[in-house]
Amino acid sequence: MAERESAGEPCGLAFVTPPVRLMRQHAEHGRSALRALARVLAEIDLLAVDADVRRQGVGSALLEETEGWLGNQGCRVVMAKIARGEYGVMRWYRQRGYLVAAQGEPFRVWLPGLELCCNDGDDGYQLALKGLGVSLRRARHGSDTFVTVESGQRSTSRSALAER
């Protein structure tokens, strides 16, 4: 939570959750796989700043603090959902190092013995993704594109999260 300097009142909030929808989609893999997923992938469900303090760096500071906390907890990928057509919000996340996936573009995560795929759920949102200690990139497989995770030292994306 961010506070106003003058009065110590709240002026911003970040609410982070495990990737619940993704975990439900892959429940058949068992609890240990879902616990591993919840450790390495987090979803920013809400990041809000009061209108009277916007454009003063509060949101950026709040996002940076949230990412730092998540990284200290072992998280490797942060995911945020952006309403389709919110180009200013998309630009804001891009300027902070997020890769904004195209509508319906899947995101693949590899854990030991487990490959998971997530997309925006066709629910009016697009995914914005940022690696914490790992790199994200777009890859092409046939006519499909997808966002994948890879470490800076490895050429295969499968090993990036498996070692963490």
* Lowest-confidence pick of 1-5, 40-44, 101-105, 151-155: 151-155
Collapsed DSSP state (helix, strand, coil) of residue 156: coil
What pTM value is reported for the model? 0.78
Each residue of 41-88: pLDDT tens digit?
899 999 888 878 788 788 899 899 999 999 999 898 899 989 888 999
Higher pLDDT, 155 or 105: 105
Mean of per-residue pLDDT scores for the chain: 78
Closest CA to 138 of 124, 148, 152: 148
Query: What does the block give as tokens for 144?
Result: 């499909």
| pLDDT above 50: residue 154 | no
CB atoms near residue 118 (< 10 Å): 24
Which residues have C-beta within 8 Å of that of residue 55, sequence separation ≥ 6?
none
